Structure 1
Amino acid sequence: MKTTKQILLVASAVIGALANYSENNATYFNPTLPGWHSDPSCTRVKDTFYCVTSTFIAFPGLPVYASKDLTNWKLISHAWNRESQLPGLSYNTSEQQQGMYAATIRYHDGVFHLICEYLGTPGGIVGVVFKSTDPFDDAAWSDPIRFKTGKIDPDLFWDDDGKAYVATQGILLQEINLKTGDLSQPPVSIWNGTGGVWPEGPHIYKKDGYYYLMIAEGGTAQDHSITIARSRKIYGPYEPYENNPILTNKHTNRFFQTVGHGDLFQDEAGNWWGMCLATRSGPDFKIYPMGREAVLFPATWNKGEWPVLQTVEGKMSGWPSLPAVSRDVAGDGPFNTDPDVYDFKGGPIPKNLIHWRVPREGAFSIKNGLEVVPSRNNLTGIPFGDIELSGQRGLAFIGRRQTHTLFTYSVDLTFDPKSVGQEAGVTVFLTQVNHIDLGVVLLESNSTIKTAKSKGQLALRFRVESKNVPIPVPATNIVPIPSHWKSPIRLQISTRNNITYDLSAMPASNEAAAIKVGTASAQLVSGGNGTFVGSLVGAYATCNGAGKGLDCPEGGKAVFGRWRYTGKGQQVAQGVIVAEEGRS
């Protein structure tokens, strides 16, 4: 196994070699949207590209990214950004991978339309269409038009006569009224793919007198593929391409696996491009904590012919030029791979920080720091049990996507717990049953003599919850906090290579006093019970079940300051990690 130093030496050689391609702007690295960004859908309006990805029960959900150059992507808004848009849906969602499945973003008659379907409600699937004339503003996204459906992955297509159509998993086609949500009945089956399981993720394009229907099939794991068919009429019959699939990495030893579920679009020069999902796992498919990420590929689509899509690799080159590099994108959100430098001295919560389900009102606020009111449920909760402890009413957790193979994340914690069991800390979070935590917690004192002033022992606690993974879960480790440490305490998560997380603590005033409290394999947050999602890193507060109803005992509020996330490197091939500054 290569050491980090050896890997970065390889990276330096790769970066140096890129000098030979300085005149070929099409050379770039995947993933273009690193971190958990599954099921991408994209469109272009004038000189700006817009993409949306799946978020399931994360909130705010359905992030909209904008880019001028296809490689620098800025988070500009979330279409689902307030509880009032879908009141009660999040609170009634019990499983870990329900919520907002694959969306499609399209622009028509001056309006952005974002169509999606929400799974996990007692009444079944809820179809939603959000609209906006200003995608750079959260508040401009409308309350959704709802429609009834039993299938997922909706596409939205307007024909030349102005009629709008929705295609869904199956593949079923219906006309939709975008004012009322009414669908034509019954749904018409127009194609069932080439024989792979789960034909889904459809997108319809009209070109050269044909309706092209591009779908995903083969499941979302290593047999994932993109296939295509076409017809002279929108309802078919559809003729499949004889050389299907048109894009897949199945049955290969490539580092990027699960390639599929894509969307196609053009740049201003008329060149075709596509985005789809992929997993940086290699054929072993064991370690992939960032889950399903968004990758960019060039396409050739000549008149009257089938599209030709370039195979997805970590390093892409040898195609017509990308648009000129530009970060001149409107909006107040961050670019996806930029570092976090947040001191929480005022203003709104940064756009790239998200929750697991809609949080309780007032649980998070920025005053002199990010104040977090603890939840009775801890990060695990009791899935399918007591709703007050399940996490369905919102975890006191806030995090950001892990967007780099090599990174360091740290936050300063001011915390004065009053009751045994109160805890605040940091976590690598995949789902409620797959997470790696380092907390500051008040435990029962070991002393046999307790006084009225004795409230327990403050300690650092490393513990892991990981279900459905084939490796042992590390033992819990408890380390008393040295008496001479002064508040705030800095908690840190870092990766020394592509497979290991180190969790450490130190006084914020003295990094040299750092204590490594735990080490965990990234396999513990790869797949498991979160096969559709990817790891978040962030902060939490809990009273671990004490209290009543939704409320913890008095005290235990956590204040987080000096939030830092710095990406250092991206793995782009087996054994090759490219330094972050060398990716673009």
Structure 2
Amino acid sequence: MSFPGCPVFASTGLVNWDLISNVLNRPAQLPQIRTSTNGQNLGMFATTLRFHNGTFYLIGAWVDSDHGGVEIVLFTTINPYDDNAWTNSIRIQNPTRAIDPDTFWDDDGSVIMAVAGSPIQASYIDLATGNATKPFDMWNGTGYNNQEGPHLYKKYGYYYLLIAEGGTELLHSATIARSRSITGPWGSSPSNPLVTARYTDRYFQTVGHADLFQDDAGNWWGVALATRAGSALYNETTYPMGRETVLYAVSWPDGDWPVADQVTGEMSGPLPSRSPKASSVPAFMGEPDIVDFAPGSSIPKHWVFWRAPAKPQSFTISPPGHSDTLRLTASRANLTGDKDFSPPDGLTFLARRQTNTLFEFSVDINPNFATAKGDEIGVTAFLHQDQHVDLGIVSMGSVAKGNLGFRFRATDLAAADFTVPAPKVTPPPSVMAIRIYSSPPPF
């Protein structure tokens, strides 16, 4: 739902990562990003990035709540450092209307697309036409539900199939099987699950939906999705950064099964020698933002909108007479919207992804409300339109009389087990600086 989407990061040492491009960076690539996105948790699902014969391929499922569709789309580039080098979306047939597509090139050059299913399904696909063959069954996992996130590898004369099981919450895991034939039968690893945190009280929970890769030195690594909070706080829905990517070391002896280090927080592995950044593009992981919106500059590439902006003119850098500012033109609806809201209405909203448990930030605001009542500008901790916490300056009456309020408001349209506090309005401070506190990781 956020835009630009499908960010790609590069690293020379597997510790510091640079944002080098956003695959989905212009509405022309996938016009639905602007119009068919009323759902708050849908959009691009579980993309897979692969490199083959000089080309990068990113495949994913576009889930459209407005029309009930699941469309598999593919983007390619030979230069992942350039946003504009990523192609428009190429539609790939989706015989089972499934999510989580993976691309795998077999020894004969054929391309296999595995997708989520019970069991996991696969088809041969034609990347030029987007055609897919009739799907065939693969592996049904180790007994947990929600078999998804498949990835295929071929080593030592075996096909290896890595999948996610157990759903995306506390039972999440990654398990692996192998077969001499792409059509099976598949044998489960005796060490399954490969990675998980289920039935533990580790700080990192929901570990699963994994992938494997090799570095230049031949060392194997894994990546997976996880949430940081611990099982108790997860059960209280206290994990503001949602699902994040984690890295762990893997050993893969010749002819044997891969074995992974479990995700525990402070970990070790055969990291490559640290070297300069992968590009001249400023990284944002672990680095502060200081943005003054100088004339001729642009919105930082790691900042995101909620959907592709329907009205780009609502975000103007250094308008005439207001150098070094960003002018925001209010949208009709606030962050929550209303029953008449639709994506073409647009939301005047810019965000930066939270990347640290403990951080602080500030923003200078010059309210210039055009109406007598109801306009608002401020900051928000935003999950989606149904769940966000706002601190804003709001016009409460006649702007000419300086009738402004500093308002705290929490919105949770899905709340069932607790009461959302009522909005609170106080006179606004002269300077609004927000500091967010949280407990440090208990490693």
TM-score (norm 1): 0.71
Of 151, 160, 163, 1:212 maps to: 160
Q: C-alpha distance in 2, partners of 1:197/1:240?
A: 16
> Retained in 2: the 8 A contact 1:104–1:116?
yes
Within 5 A, what are the aligned runs for 1:138-537?
138-149=83-94, 150-170=97-117, 171-184=120-133, 186-284=134-232, 285=234, 286=236, 287-317=238-268, 319=269, 321-346=270-295, 347-360=297-310, 361-367=312-318, 368=323, 369-382=325-338, 385-386=339-340, 389-391=341-343, 393-419=345-371, 420-444=373-397, 454=400, 457-469=403-415, 470-481=417-428, 485=430, 490-498=431-439
| 1:464 maps to amino acid | A
Q: C-alpha distance in 2, partners of 1:481/1:250?
A: 46
455 and 118 in structure 1: CA distance in 2 versus 1, 3 angstrom threshold = farther
> Retained in 2: the 8 A contact 1:427–1:438?
yes
> Retained in 1: the 8 A contact 2:56–2:80?
yes
For residue 315 of structure 1, give the secondary structure of its aligned residue in structure 2. Answer: coil
Q: Which has the higher contact order (CA 8 A, sep 6+)?
A: 1
Q: C-alpha distance in 2, partners of 1:200/1:117?
A: 12
Q: C-alpha distance in 2, partners of 1:162/1:426?
A: 51
| 1:65 maps to amino acid | F
Deviation string, structure 1 residues 374-428 (Cα, Å, up to 9, x no partner): 111100012xx31xx2456431110001111111111111121131111111111
439 and 63 in structure 1: CA distance in 2 versus 1, 3 angstrom threshold = same
Q: C-alpha distance in 2, partners of 1:408/1:292?
A: 21
Q: Which residue is 1:135 aligned to?
A: 80
Deviation string, structure 1 residues 9-49 (Cα, Å, up to 9, x no partner): xxxxxxxxxxxxxxxxxxxxxxxxxxxxxxxxxxxxxxxxx
| 1:294 maps to amino acid | T
| 1:496 maps to amino acid | Y
| 2:405 maps to amino acid | A
| 1:138 maps to amino acid | D
Q: C-alpha distance in 2, partners of 1:88/1:226?
A: 32
Q: C-alpha distance in 1, partners of 2:333/2:129?
A: 39
Return the offset for 1:356.
1.0
Q: C-alpha distance in 2, partners of 1:166/1:416?
A: 53
> Retained in 2: the 8 A contact 1:364–1:371?
yes
Q: C-alpha distance in 1, partners of 2:186/2:344?
A: 43
Q: C-alpha distance in 1, partners of 2:57/2:414?
A: 38
Q: C-alpha distance in 2, partners of 1:281/1:468?
A: 21
| 1:135 maps to amino acid | P
Of 81, 100, 103, 2:25 maps to: 81
Deviation string, structure 1 residues 450-484 (Cα, Å, up to 9, x no partner): xxx946612211111123343332221212236xx
Aligned length: 426
| 1:96 maps to amino acid | Q
393 and 198 in structure 1: CA distance in 2 versus 1, 3 angstrom threshold = farther
Deviation string, structure 1 residues 487-517 (Cα, Å, up to 9, x no partner): xxx433322333xxxxxxxxxxxxxxxxxxx
Structure 1, unaligned runs of 5 or more: 1-56, 446-452, 499-570, 577-584
Return the offset for 1:84.
0.6
Q: C-alpha distance in 1, partners of 2:365/2:91?
A: 42
Return the offset for 1:331.
4.6
80 and 316 in structure 1: CA distance in 2 versus 1, 3 angstrom threshold = same
Q: C-alpha distance in 2, partners of 1:324/1:457?
A: 59
For residue 28 of structure 2, give the secondary structure of its aligned residue in structure 1. Answer: helix
Q: Which residue is 1:67 aligned to?
A: 11
> Retained in 1: the 8 A contact 2:18–2:277?
no
Deviation string, structure 1 residues 258-289 (Cα, Å, up to 9, x no partner): 00001100111111001101111212112211
Q: C-alpha distance in 1, partners of 2:375/2:326?
A: 18
For residue 269 of structure 1, give the secondary structure of its aligned residue in structure 2. Answer: coil
324 and 572 in structure 1: CA distance in 2 versus 1, 3 angstrom threshold = farther
> Retained in 2: the 8 A contact 1:381–1:391?
no
Structure 2, unaligned runs of 5 or more: none
Return the offset for 1:116.
0.6
For residue 290 of structure 1, give the secondary structure of its aligned residue in structure 2. Answer: coil
> Retained in 2: the 8 A contact 1:272–1:299?
yes
Q: Which residue is 1:22 aligned to?
A: none
Q: C-alpha distance in 1, partners of 2:159/2:441?
A: 35
| 2:349 maps to amino acid | F
Q: C-alpha distance in 1, partners of 2:353/2:244?
A: 11
153 and 474 in structure 1: CA distance in 2 versus 1, 3 angstrom threshold = same
Work out whether 1:572 is the aligned partner of 2:403: no
Q: Which residue is 2:46 aligned to?
A: 102
479 and 274 in structure 1: CA distance in 2 versus 1, 3 angstrom threshold = same
CA RMSD of aligned residues (A): 1.7
> Retained in 2: the 8 A contact 1:125–1:151?
yes
Q: C-alpha distance in 1, partners of 2:46/2:86?
A: 18
